[in-house]
Amino acid sequence: MNIGIPRETLSGETRVAMTPEIAKKLIGKGFTVQIEAGAGVRAGYPDADYAQVGAQLTDRAGAYDVDLVLKVRRPTADEVAAMRDGGLFIGLLETCGADEILTAMLTKNLRVLGMERMPRTSRAQSMDALSSQSNLAGYRATLEAATRYGRFFPMMMTSAGAAKPARVVVLGAGVAGLQAIATARRLGADVYAYDVRPETAEQIRSLGAKPITLNLGESGAGEGGYARELSAEAKVIQQLALGDELAKAHVIITTALIPCRPAPVLVTAAVVERMRPGSVIIDLAAANGGNCPLTVANEVIEHRGVTIVGITNFPALVPADASAFYARNLFNLIEIMFQTDSAKPQLKELMQDDITAAMLITAA
C-alpha cells in the first residue's frame, strides 16, 4: 500500500499532511510513503528528515500516482487528474455539496473521505482534524490580537503608572473560542464570552472568563455539538442585545460558524463605529463571509480607527504544530481503516465502520 504526500499548492498554505514522525510509524506498519520533494519545508520538516526515516522522495507525479493520497486542502482539477483511478483520497474537502472537483474525483472511481465529516464521537476524537486545527487557530488568533492591540493585555503596575487589563470579548465557545478564551486569560486580559448554546456557560466560567447571557427566546444548540442557525427574530434580538457589550470591548475575537451556512453577523458596522479607536477585531469566520460585515477575507483593514483582521488560515501561521496535529489525526484514522498484522496492510470495508462510513462521499 503506497501513500503519497504532495506539496500543498494553495496560496499561503504552509502545512503538510505528513511529518517524519508519522511517516516512520506508517513505514513500520508496512506502508510505503512517497513524499513530494519540498512538501514539508514550509512547515519546518526538511526532505532529509523524511529520507532518514525511510520515506521515498519523489516528484509531483509520484506523490499522486499511489494507492492513497493524503492532503491538507482540497485538490485542484489538475491534481485530481494526476490521481490513480480507483485510489483513495483523504483530506479536507471544504465542500457542502456537489462541485466540479468532487464530481471529477468520483468519476475516476476514487474513494473520497472528507476529514471535515469526522463524526463528533468519543471514539473519533483523536482523528478530529477540525478540532485540532481550530485549537491552533484560537491560540494564534489571540496572539494576533495582542500584537495588533496597541496596549497591554494584562494589568501592569510600573513606576511610571498603572495600565488596566484589556477587555476581550470572544464570540463563540467552540474549540477555537475556548482556546482563545484560555489564551487571552493566560495573557492577563479581562475576558468575556458569548455563545448561542446555553450549555457552554459553565465551560466559559471554568476558563476564568465571564459568560455573556442573552434571552433570545430560543436555543442555538444544534446536532453533534455544533450551533444551529437562529431564527430571523432571534438574530435581531441577539445583535441589539450584544451591541452594548461589544462596543465596550478593546478586542473582539469572533469564531461563530454554522456548518454549510454563511457566518452569522454578530458585530455590525454600527457596533464597530461605537468602539474606541485602537480596538481590534479578529474575525475567524472571514472565509465564510465573516461575523462582521466589514471583514475582508485575507486582508487587514481599518475602519474608523478599529483594526479588522480577516486572516482565513491561522493554523498555517503555526505550521509545524498544525502539521504534526493533522498528521496524527490521519495516522489514527489509518489505524482503524487498515488491517496491519499481515505482510501487507489490507483496507477494511469502509462502510462497516461508523467513522469511515460517515466520512465517505459516495455521490456528487
pLDDT value for 221: 55
pLDDT value for 176: 97
pLDDT digit string (tens) for 147-171?
Answer: 999 999 998 888 788 889 999 999 9
Catalytic one of 47, 148, 167, 226: 226
Could you tell me if 282 and 254 are in contact, meaning their C-beta atoms sit under 8 angstroms apart?
A: yes
pLDDT value for 223: 56
pLDDT value for 225: 53
- Provide the whole-model pTM: 0.92
Average pLDDT estimate for 204-230: 74
Q: Is pLDDT at 282 greater than 90 in this prediction? A: yes
Average pLDDT estimate for 4-21: 97
Q: Active-site residue 197, yes or no?
A: no
pLDDT band at residue 229, thresholds of 50, 70 and 90? low
Q: How many CB atoms lie within 10 A of CB 155?
A: 13
pLDDT band at residue 216, thresholds of 50, 70 and 90? low
Give the class (CATH, top level) of 134-316. Answer: alpha beta
Extract the C-alpha cell encoding 18.
505528513
Catalytic one of 52, 59, 78, 125: 125
pLDDT value for 161: 82
Q: For residues 291 and 198, what is the distance between their CA atoms, to the nearest angstrom?
A: 19
Give the class (CATH, top level) of 2-117+319-361. Answer: alpha beta
Extract the C-alpha cell encoding 326.
493533522
Q: Active-site residue 226, yes or no?
A: yes
Helix (H, G, I), strand (E, B) or coil at 344: coil
Q: Is pLDDT at 226 greater than 80 in this prediction? A: no
Q: Active-site residue 65, yes or no?
A: no
Catalytic one of 15, 50, 60, 131: 131
Cα 333 to chain centroid, rounded: 18
Which residue matches cell numbers 514539508?
40
User: Radius of gyration over alpha carbons of the chain, in Å?
Assistant: 22
pLDDT value for 128: 98
Q: Is pLDDT at 242 greater than 90 in this prediction? A: no
Q: Output b/e per residue, 230-264; b: 16+ Cβ within 10 A.
A: beeebbebbbeebbebbbebbbbbbbbbbeeeebb
Query: Where do the CATH 3.40.50.720 domains begin and end in the chain?
Result: 2-117+319-361, 134-316
pLDDT digit string (tens) for 180-210?
Answer: 999 999 999 999 999 988 889 999 999 999 9
Q: What are phi and psi of 170, to 5 degrees?
A: -110, 125
Could you tell me if 169 and 266 are in contact, meaning their C-beta atoms sit under 8 angstroms apart?
A: no
Q: Output b/e per residue, 325-338; b: 16+ Cβ within 10 A.
A: bbbbbbbbbbeebb
Extract the C-alpha cell encoding 200.
457552554
Catalytic one of 49, 65, 99, 120: 120
pLDDT band at residue 25, thresholds of 50, 70 and 90? very high
Catalytic one of 128, 190, 195, 283: 128
pLDDT band at residue 104, thresholds of 50, 70 and 90? very high
Q: How many CB atoms lie within 10 A of CB 319?
A: 23
pLDDT digit string (tens) for 37-88?
Answer: 999 999 999 999 999 999 999 999 999 999 999 999 999 999 999 999 999 9
Phi-psi category of residue 226: left, alpha or beta, with phi > 0 → left and psi -120 to 50 → alpha: beta
Strand order through the sheet with 190-194: 210-211, 190-194, 167-171, 251-254, 280-283, 306-309, 300-303
Q: Active-site residue 15, yes or no?
A: no
Helix (H, G, I), strand (E, B) or coil at 3: strand
Q: For residues 287 and 262, what is the distance between their CA atoms, to the nearest angstrom?
A: 9
Q: Active-site residue 206, yes or no?
A: no
> pLDDT exceeding 90 applies to what percent of the chain?
81
Q: How many CB atoms lie within 10 A of CB 9?
A: 13
Nearest to 325 by CA among 257, 163, 333: 333
